[in-house]
Every structure is written in structure tokens, then in C-alpha cells.
Amino acid sequence: MVVSLGNFDGVHEGHAQLIRRTVSLAKEKGLESALVTFEPHPLKFFGADIRLISTLDMKIREFEKLGADKLFLMNFDEHLAGINPEIFVSEFLVKKMRASFIVVGYDYRFGRGRTGSFDFLVHLSNRLGFTAIQVPKVEINGMTASSTNVRKCLTEGEIDCANTLLGRNFAIGGTVVKGDGIATGIGFPTANIEPLNELIPMNGIYAAKVNIDGTYYNGALYIGERPTVGSGLKKRVEVNLFGFSGNLYGKYIEAEIVHFIRHDRKFGSVDELKAQIKTDCDNIKVFFERQK
């Protein structure tokens, strides 16, 4: 078996390169490919204030797209946090999984005190009978493809940058819930998404492609607290869908965020807000027309 280790939050282009290497090597050697990842994310286990880019279901879907044969989802608990990295490699990866090749990223660390590393794997490889392989970091437009950089891009509204590092559009998935009717009342009905994602991009208006039961609809996505119509309102993720009619309440949908349009702001009146929303929708429709 060819085994790759990682947290894989976001499954960005760096992760994809690692997984592709694992899958291609397995095919070349006539072996199965397997990914080992952890739930919860180790940083969250240790109390770090980190918002994950993708849900577990989204991660698994990307693993499948990349062709991995098997996924081992390990419960990251006190035992795993404190395990001797040599024991983890010898007992789990080699003895239990029968790993002939172990593939890791350029900066991956594991085991007690994060003492496991690529050099550590090389040190063990001859004695335990496997080959250690390191995949170099991936840089795009001078920026390293990393979960940290993807998070930074999203929180700063740099959606084009985030999507480039991810190698696909960032998506918010969740169930459509009943809103307060404000958007409908001003002539722009929206689907209010109760997001499952932990990380929500910076407040603003975005061009989005929304997947509803496998059919995509373009739309204007809003993230924010609706400052023009109230103060202290709950943050909302809502999308005005172009060319869609129907009841979405209770349905799971995913909004792929394609492009940042403008920052959220408070307008002097509801009429000013309505005029701006119309302009936003027109601009987004032009944007999508130009993508054809």
C-alpha cells in the first residue's frame, strides 16, 4: 500500500499534488493508495483558534475526485497526541496498513511533540522496510499553497487568490432556512444558508454559482449583518438566484464563490440599498457572461 499522511484542510493544490503522487505511485506499483487524516484537526484538539476551510464531507469528496482508494479517518485524542512517532509508523502504518511507501508533504510533522518528520521516516525506512517520499511545496504566483494562506485570502476577501490556491472555487455548504423576509420585501428574494463551514469569507457581495441537486444557478451572494436595515443583526449568508423559482427550505445547497464584487456597507436609505443591489446583480450577470 502507498500511504499519505496529512490534515488536508481545504484539500488545496499542495494537498492535491501530494495525493496525485500517492495515487500515481500506487498504480505504477500495482498497490492500493490510502490517505490517513485526523478528526478533529490536531490544532483544534490542542485549543488553537482555527476555523476549518472545508467540512469533512467536502474533504472526502475531493479525496474521491483525486482517485484515492482508501481513507483512514483517525480519532485525534490524547492517546494519538502523545504517541511515540516510531510506534505510530511501525505498528500502524507498517504492520497494520502494510505500507510499502509513505508519502508526506515538505513540512509535515506528526507524533508526540511533533517529532515525526520526513527525515525521521527516512531514518526508520531501512529497518522497517518501506520507502519514504517527500513532495515539495507548491507555489502559485509566488504564494505557497497552504491552508494558512487560503484562510488568509478568504478572511481578507481575496477570493480569486483563495480559489487559485485551492485549484477550484471555495464553496459554502448548508441547509436553506427561513429568513426574516427583508430581502423579499425589497424585491430581491434570497435563499438563506445555514452554513456548515466554519470559515466564512469577509463580509461583502460575491458572484456565486449555486449547486442545487446537481444543477448550477448563477447568483449574487451576500455575507454580512445587513447594516442598512438594522443593527446587531445575526451574520447572514444568503444568495439571490438568477433564473430559479421554487421552495428550497430544508434543502442542502452549495454556493461556490467565484469573484468578489464589493464590500458590505450601510446605505442612507432602503431605496439606496435596492438600487445598489440591482447594480450588483447586473454586474454579476455581466461577469458571468464574460466567463463564457
Q: How does pLDDT run across 23-71, given as a tens digit for each residue?
A: 999 999 999 999 999 999 998 998 999 999 999 999 999 999 999 999 9
Report the pLDDT averaged over residues 237-242: 95
Close Cβ partners of 141 (under 8 Å, ≥ 6 residues apart): 164
* Domain final residue pick, 95, 117, 137: 137
190 and 279 inside one domain = yes
Cα distances (Å, whole numbers) of residue 35 to 91, 182, 278: 17, 46, 46
* Domain at 222, CATH number: 2.40.30.30
**Predicted model pTM:** 0.91
* pLDDT tens per residue, range 165-218: 999 999 999 999 987 766 565 667 889 999 999 999 999 999 999 999 999 999
- What pLDDT score does 233 carry? 67
Which of these ranges, 114-128, 185-199, 249-263, has the smallest mean pLDDT? 185-199
CA dihedral 6, 11, 16, 20 (to 10 degrees): 60
- What pLDDT score does 185 carry? 59
Residue 96 forms part of a structural domain:
yes
Residue 110 forms part of a structural domain:
yes
Residue 113 forms part of a structural domain:
yes
Close Cβ partners of 277 (under 8 Å, ≥ 6 residues apart): 186, 188, 220, 240
Close Cβ partners of 179 (under 8 Å, ≥ 6 residues apart): 190, 192, 236, 238
* Domain final residue pick, 85, 114, 137: 137
6 and 105 inside one domain = yes
Residue 124 forms part of a structural domain:
yes
Residue 143 forms part of a structural domain:
no
Give which of 262, 292, 257 is closest to 276, Cα–Cα: 262
Residue 41 forms part of a structural domain:
yes
Residue 155 forms part of a structural domain:
no
Report the pLDDT averaged over residues 61-82: 95
76 and 8 inside one domain = yes
109 and 181 inside one domain = no
Close Cβ partners of 83 (under 8 Å, ≥ 6 residues apart): 111, 112
- What pLDDT score does 1 carry? 96
196 and 129 inside one domain = no
* Total residue length of the chain: 292
Average pLDDT across the chain, whole number: 93
117 and 229 inside one domain = no
Residue 55 forms part of a structural domain:
yes
Which of these ranges, 101-115, 176-190, 233-247, has the smallest mean pLDDT? 176-190
- What pLDDT score does 226 carry? 84
83 and 174 inside one domain = no
Q: Are strands 252-262 and 191-195 parallel, antiparallel or unpaired?
A: unpaired
123 and 14 inside one domain = yes
Confidence check: pLDDT of 159 > 80: yes
Range of the domain at 72: 2-137
Give which of 53, 36, 72 is closest to 146, Cα–Cα: 53
How many H helices and E strands in the chain?
10, 13
Provide the number of structural domains found in the chain: 2
* Domain at 93, CATH number: 3.40.50.620
54 and 176 inside one domain = no
